[in-house]
Each structure stands twice: as C-alpha cells, then as structure tokens.
Structure 1
Amino acid sequence: MGTFTILLGGELIRTPRLERQIEGSRVIAADAGIGHARMLGLMPELWVGDFDSVPADLPDDLAAVPRKVFPAEKDMTDGELAIAEALRRGATSLVLAGAFGGKRADHAFLHLALAVRLAEAGTTVLLTSGAQEGAPILPGKAASFDYANGTLFSVLGFSDLSGLTVTGAKWPLDRVEVAFGSSLTISNEVKGRLGIALERGRALLLAHPYPLPES
C-alpha cells in the first residue's frame, strides 16, 4: 500500500470527501496530530515527534500507539519527520491532513512548500483541512480536478510563473506570465472541469470544496 495519511497539528474537519481520500491508507501521526485520529476513526501505526504537544485525555488505544521520539532541539519539524518515516516505509502518495491553520503559521507555510518539493521528487501529495485542499502544480504536467461549479480556488505561486493556463474557470488564463507575489491568480471559481497547466515555475492549487463560512 503506497498511500499514507499524515496527521498534522493544524485545523481538520471530517467530511465525506476527506473520508474517501484517506480510506484504506496507512496512518502516521505527528505529535499533536494524534488528536485527529479519534475524530476520523483512525489508528496510526506510528506516532512521531518530540511530544511537547500531546493532547490531554487521549483514549488508551491511541496513547499506546508505538512512538518514535525525537529531542525538542532538532533540525526537522514533527510533520517533516513523520513524512520522512512514511517515505521510508514505501509511501508513493501522501495525504497531509491538518496541513493548514493551527497555532504555527510557519509550520503551515512549510507544509505548502514541502508539498511542492515532494511532488517534484515524484510523490503525489494532497494537503487538506477537510474544508480546503492543496495540490502541487508541476511544470509540463497538466492536471485536472473534480471540483463542483462555483468552487473557490487560487493558484499560489512559489516563484515567477511562465505559461500558466487555467481552463474550466470563471476567469480562464492562456499561457500567461505571473510575477512572484502577484494576486492575479487569487480567488477564481470553477466553471466546468478545472484544468491547470504550467510551463515553468513552482505553484500550488488551493481550493475550497465546501462553501466558506460567512464572516
């Protein structure tokens, strides 16, 4: 089995779509991410981290999950350590559950950037909070997505983007150049079958499969 779900410490809600995405996968928890296991009905095969953020009142079965303990002063986050362990165990596809939000914006940014790097190395990666999803966009590899009409999405550039094409959208793009830091590709909407292609650069699709809560 090549798909692993990595339970991270960010925000996570249970949805039917998330249940389908993680069904049948192997599971590794990263420190506080173990708290999501009970909500999702999952039993991790491993719990990784420095254990400085262990949730209170864990049930006995989760508290007994095998642990791989690291010192607090280390050069990798608990999430990256959990991902590395999944790759050592043969992961070819990763679902990073709880990749957004939480108390640490730096960790959330790392998950986005790390997902792009992992995809470039050949690993399929999905980032999710249940309410929003992220997927790396690789140059030279057109991708399509199964989002319903009206789904809000953005293309986040991690560099200057060259030859960006977006189809099946309210505002399509045809081989455009997008400067790093531009807001051109923020807040688009799906209209048909969403397709994205990129000639050069590093980017990530961020989509909201469910309606955003009213502010």
Structure 2
Amino acid sequence: MDVWLLLAGEFAPPPHLPQAGDVVVAVDGGMRHAAVLGVVPSLWLGDFDSSDAALAARYAAVPRLAFPVNKDETDAELALAHIAQHHPQARTVQIIGAAGGEADHAFANLWVLPRFALPTLLYGRTATYAFAHGPAAWEIHGQAGDKVSIFALTAIHGLANSGLRWAAEGLHLTPFRAHGARNELCAARAAIRWQSGAGLVIVPTAASGTLHSCIISPSFTQ
C-alpha cells in the first residue's frame, strides 16, 4: 500500500497512478490535483489558505482535518506527521505538487523528510526525488548517460550501486558534500542501495531516466 500526498505546488505527472488499496490525502490547495489523477482523497487537511470556494464545494463530502494558518509547521509537514502516525506500514509516500514557484516551500518539503524517515518519492517537472532512511534500495530505469545524484542528509553507510558510471561498494558518504552528485547510467537499468542513514536520490526528468520503483527492506544486509 502506498500513501499519496497531493500538495499545492505545480502538477507533474507520476509514472503510475494510485492503485486500489492506496491511501490518498489532499493537502490544502493540492486537492485540485485529485481530478487530474482521477481520485477522491479520503482526507483533506491543512489550513485551507490556498483552497477556493469552488474546490471546497466540489469536495464538500471529503472529511477535513483543519489547522490554524498561524502555526510552526508547514501543511506538508503536518501531513507527513499524520501518515507516520496512521499509516506507518506504507510501502512509500508518493508526493504530487511538492515543487513550484516558491523555493522555500519546495526546500521545506525536502528538509523535513529525515524527521519522519518515511520512504518517499516526490515528483517534479524537472526531477524526481527519492528519500529513504536505510536500509534502502532503489531501482532506476532510463538510458545510458542519464544523470543520477545521491546526497547524504545524514551520514550514509554501506552505499553501493550497480549500473552507474562511477561504481561504489560499501562507501561512506558524509553530509554537506557533493561527492555523489552527477553520476550517470551505463545502460538502461541501475540499482542503488545503502545500509543506514538518510539519503536523497535525484534523477532529472528532463533526461529519459525516471525513478521507477522503490524497495525498502528491514532485512537488508548487503
């Protein structure tokens, strides 16, 4: 089961749509993405400062969880806290609308991810972002030459990859360095894994490579 978060940023089409059994949560103005995806969310939360009357009328039957406008958390942060509490068994959190014209909002959506340690895919127009707290494994499909970057948000231990130009096996990656940036696929498929630590994988969507699937296993030992 995946959980889908619909944030109020710009829409970027995901590689697949929500499936039967998935949970869809709209976050404030992100409710407008529901029609594009062909879904009706099971919950609508936020401070509702970016939701208009027409949207409210169309989805009046969806249960709401309202928060004050003046608060210490972003709506996305509150949504992730809700998922961590109510859907901790989710395979991944799939986020639509995490990016857009407001750089601080987009950065905040990435900045808070280590706090919740939920395996997360964020879809933007220029890149797909994949976050996980290890043990983690990601599979990437694309074409030779497609760029792939890996960033350590905390120290990453046991980083390894296959199918990338610069190979790694058991690598220790420290935060605030770009050592893992701008790697590239050697063929149509690559794999990245690490044993522990919070990491972010970025694949530009301007190229053909798209982050395709995620496997997070508590028994990961390689």
Give the TM-score taking structure 2 as reference length: 0.76
- Which of 197, 200, 206 is matched with 1:204 structurally? 200
What secondary structure is seen at the aligned counterpart in 2 of 1:58? Answer: helix
Offset at residue 71 of structure 1 (A): 0.8
Does residue 34 of the first structure (1) align with residue 28 of the second (2)? no
Q: What's the counterpart of residue 74 of structure 2?
A: 77
What secondary structure is seen at the aligned counterpart in 2 of 1:83? Answer: helix
Which amino acid is 2:4 matched to? T
Gaps of 5+ in 1: none
State how far apart, in whole Å, the 2-side matches of 1:168 and 1:29 are: 36
Q: What's the counterpart of residue 217 of structure 2?
A: none
Give the TM-score taking structure 1 as reference length: 0.78
1:17-166 pair list within 5 angstroms? 17-19=15-17, 22-24=18-20, 25-55=22-52, 57-58=54-55, 60-93=57-90, 94-99=93-98, 101-119=99-117, 123-129=118-124, 132-139=127-134, 141-150=135-144, 151-166=146-161
State how far apart, in whole Å, the 2-side matches of 1:134 and 1:72 are: 28
The two structures, once aligned, show a CA RMSD in angstroms of 2.8
Offset at residue 75 of structure 1 (A): 2.3
Which amino acid is 2:138 matched to? S
Offset at residue 202 of structure 1 (A): 2.6
What secondary structure is seen at the aligned counterpart in 2 of 1:82? Answer: helix
State how far apart, in whole Å, the 1-side matches of 2:153 and 2:64 are: 34
1:10-57 deviation digits (Å, cap 9, x = unpaired): 232225x132xx222221111121121122222112211111111574
Say whether the 8 Å CA contact 1:153–1:189 is kept in structure 2. Answer: yes
What secondary structure is seen at the aligned counterpart in 1 of 2:185? Answer: strand
What secondary structure is seen at the aligned counterpart in 1 of 2:55? Answer: coil
Offset at residue 65 of structure 1 (A): 2.9
Count of residue correspondences: 203
Offset at residue 154 of structure 1 (A): 0.8
